[in-house]
Structure 1
């Protein structure tokens, strides 16, 4: 029988069903999303650090633009496929996974809904100017923005909300543009604060990939990871592991 993509995928599990099946696995659930910024190359470093937490399950979403920075051309740019084999990573999703591998049927699980149900914390790192604008405007034209648009913002029984952390990354002129200030105001003031559900890690000033020097670079990945550990209660676990290893 000649090879065909259809014959390869027809027996694969619906990605949404796999996510739904892991809902009660007893682990903390981190949904880590990367959008179109060169800071996507920090993803391997974040994953390597978070691998020290055996009680953490990580699922990754990449926009098509983010995937362009993960082509296997260098050690800091591994392939998308290689991410699936890293410790703690239980899934890597692209926009096409929302619809595959089978044709849609009534009653079938929906990936962006199952990911939203599964996630204890969503981290958008890096968050590009384009994706920031989409989120602030309520657009949901890809897997990441659909998860954000479907996020449960209600107050839970313990008085808290499931939170989203965003680490913007963009060119200085994009960051200082009046539209960016308007979009960040939505995330920080309308949706954020102590009683809200959005945290923004504002960019820092440094030499950017485009050659400019100025504000717009994503905060150091160590700061992003530290906030993940804080939000998910992982710091003590990591410290005890370091202690056992004599670090």
Structure 2
């Protein structure tokens, strides 16, 4: 397992002064699941890393400082690894094995909790039908779903569905999407197109540029001190 990006997570008791600018980068945790849309992970990470820093103003106290860029880490399911090469991901990449390798004894950190504390925003792109069902039902059987189950709902969480049109049209999909919105999560809508399998219709993940623009918007709107 690689070191934490740009140092270890903030300590749980750390805080930011009421009037002082935040002096660290905005941290984005990207979750990726076993949809063919995971092919776009290298491009998505690259574009997220290109998001410029935001001016920290006394009135809004935004979470980044002018001139800085965002910090990104990735949590991948095992099936998602089929669609990209880790060599193409220029940031720290975590998967199930890392959770168990980190914890050896009672005093050791628990990775899914440390990741939850580390991140200012979580983006799950793509979110496939299988993991959608798990999250909506509260199942947490891998590193990604454990992070999602433990997520601090005062922080933004965005999700981008990606699945075959027949899966999209199944009644369970609408129910499970609604459940995630009840949790307070923000959906970046999927689009209609010809899918890799050849079917045509709804279910394709939103374009990468659309996703990044939405992340930028949420970053600029979210106020207050990053919570750890």
Instruction: Report the TM-score range of the alignment, normalised by the length of the smaller protein.
Output: 0.7 to 0.9
Aligned to 1:212: 199
Aligned to 1:81: 87
SS in 2 for 1:206: strand
Aligned to 1:6: none
SS in 2 for 1:33: strand
What is the CA RMSD across the aligned residues, in angstroms?
A: 2.1
Residues in 1 aligned to 2:127 and 2:88: alpha-carbon distance in whole angstroms? 22
Aligned to 1:31: 29
* Shift, 1:18, TM fit: 7.0
Residues in 2 aligned to 1:165 and 1:136: alpha-carbon distance in whole angstroms? 14
Partners of 1:167 and 1:201 within 8 A in 2 = yes
Deviates more, 1:40-49 or 1:20-29: 20-29
Instruction: Determine which structure has more spread, i.e. the larger CA radius of gyration.
Output: 1
- Gap change, CA 1:18 and 1:218, over 3 Å in 2: closer
**Pick from 69, 73, 77: which aligns with 1:55?**
69
**Pick from 192, 203, 215: which aligns with 1:228?**
215
* Shift, 1:232, TM fit: 1.9
Partners of 1:129 and 1:169 within 8 A in 2 = yes
Residues in 2 aligned to 1:96 and 1:177: alpha-carbon distance in whole angstroms? 33
Map 1:76-225 to 2 at 5 A: 79-83=85-89, 86=90, 89=91, 91-100=92-101, 104-153=104-153, 161-188=154-181, 190-191=182-183, 197-225=184-212
* Shift, 1:50, TM fit: 2.3
Residues in 2 aligned to 1:18 and 1:44: alpha-carbon distance in whole angstroms? 17
Aligned to 1:68: 82
Instruction: Using structure 1 for the length normalisation, give the TM-score.
Output: 0.73
Partners of 2:9 and 2:114 within 8 A in 1 = no
Unaligned runs of 5+ in 1: 1-11, 71-78, 154-160, 192-196, 235-247
- What is the CA deviation profile of residues 121-175 of structure 1, one whole-angstrom value per residue up to 9, with x for unaligned ones? 000000000000000000000111000100122xxxxxxx201100000000101
Aligned to 1:5: none
Unaligned runs of 5+ in 2: 12-22, 53-67, 222-228
List structure 1 runs of 4+ shifted beyond 4 angstroms: 17-20
Q: How many residues align?
A: 194
SS in 1 for 2:29: strand
Partners of 2:31 and 2:123 within 8 A in 1 = yes
- Choose between structure 1 and 2 for higher RCO, CA contacts under 8 A separated by at least 6 residues: 2
* Shift, 1:209, TM fit: 0.8
* Shift, 1:99, TM fit: 0.8
Instruction: Using structure 2 for the length normalisation, give the TM-score.
Output: 0.79
